[in-house]
Amino acid sequence: MSTSPTENEMQQPSLSVHGTGYHGWALWMRQTLAILQLELVKNFWGRRALLLYLIAALPVALVSMLSLLPPDADEMRELGRLSQVFAAIYGGLILRTLIFFGCAWVFMNLFRGEVVDRSLHYYFLSPVRREVLVVGKYLSGLIATIILFGSATAASMLILFYGLLPAEASAYFLSGIGARHLLTYVGVTILACIGYGAVFLIVGLFFRNPIVPALLLYGWEWLNFLLPPGLKKISVIHYLHSLVPVPLSEGPFAVLAEPTPAYLAVPSLFIFTGVIIFLAGLHIRRMEISYAGE
């Protein structure tokens, strides 16, 4: 089945699609919220949601086991060293791997999943601007990943600290810098979902088989520490690492580069995301559906 943009627009009432001014924006907002509600149900209760729950639960399960069966190491008995342990868990497991692949699973399937299920044409035949569809779907994936991975980040840190050093953890979080570190880690997680979500949204739109580009992106992000300073900034992970509260050494082979200040890193991620969403909107206006070979 193939639906061209021209045919689609001819079937849509001009007011619904091409409204301008206040009434046009109000309509687009209502349509965005309607799409958001539909997509949130799919993201939280659809058949593809189980893998997302498993990915988000993995770090919580890991730190729970670590708290119940702690290794006999000095790092587990000192608050300062324990914060470095969590920084390593967060940077190596949660941020670089679980959030990355969790966002890949959610955002690549926003459109590719519809194509595989042969249901995208229902959206394309409805009186909704395709740019509105992009925004609604992106926001649904963003809310789902932020809720799950933000909760997993906070729960992992609290379980690790309170499970191993309960007395010290109370002072650390209630009267020390623990609360600020916790909020910073959750904030970095939110920014990771924003940035990676935009990347994988457009990967799912442009590639019939998005697995290969996703793996290439994963390699690029993992090898970021080996890249020269100029190339480091062509990645999401560089800006995220610049924001973590407990920075870690990237090893003896890492190419040193100054972290990007927060006042530049955060706007850069938002600008990058805005550009990607804009490009996705341009692409989907010319997109034709073809279920052949799916």
pLDDT tens, 197-227? 999 999 988 888 888 999 999 998 888 888 8
pLDDT at 48: 87
Q: What are phi and psi of 264, to 5 degrees?
A: -105, -35
Tokens representing 187 are: 């904030």
C-alpha closest to that of 95 among 265, 233, 239: 239
CA atoms lying within 13 Å on the CB side of residue 285: 10
Q: Give the whole-angstrom CA distance, residue 238 versus residue 188.
A: 12
The pLDDT score that the predictor gives to residue 11 is: 39
Query: Is 294 inside a domain boundary?
Result: no
Residue 87 lies in a domain: yes
pTM of the model: 0.87
So what's the pLDDT on residue 3? 43
Q: What is the pLDDT of residue 294?
A: 54
Assess if residue 292 is contained within a domain. Answer: no
- For residue 126, being part of any structural domain is answered with yes
Residue 43 lies in a domain: yes
Does residue 221 lie in a domain region?
yes
The rounded radius of gyration (Å) of the Cα atoms in the chain is 21
Token look-up 């940077």 returns 91
Q: What was the pLDDT predicted at 102? A: 96
Q: Which two tokens stand for residue 137?
A: 């779907």
CA distances from 226 to 15, 113, 235, 236, 251 (A): 53, 35, 13, 15, 10
Distance CA 260, CA 263 (A): 8
In a domain, 166, yes or no: yes
Which pLDDT value is given to residue 27?
Answer: 85
Write out the residue range of the structural domain in which residue 214 sits: 5-285
Phi, psi angle pair for 222, to nearest 5°: -70, -35
Instruction: Quote the number of domains for the chain.
Output: 1
The per-residue pLDDT for 268 is 93
- The predicted pLDDT at position 118 comes to 83
* Ranges in the chain, pLDDT < 70: 1-23, 73-76, 251-254, 289-294
pLDDT of residue 114: 84
Helix, strand, coil % in the chain, rounded to nearest 5: 75, 0, 25
Is 120 inside a domain boundary?
yes
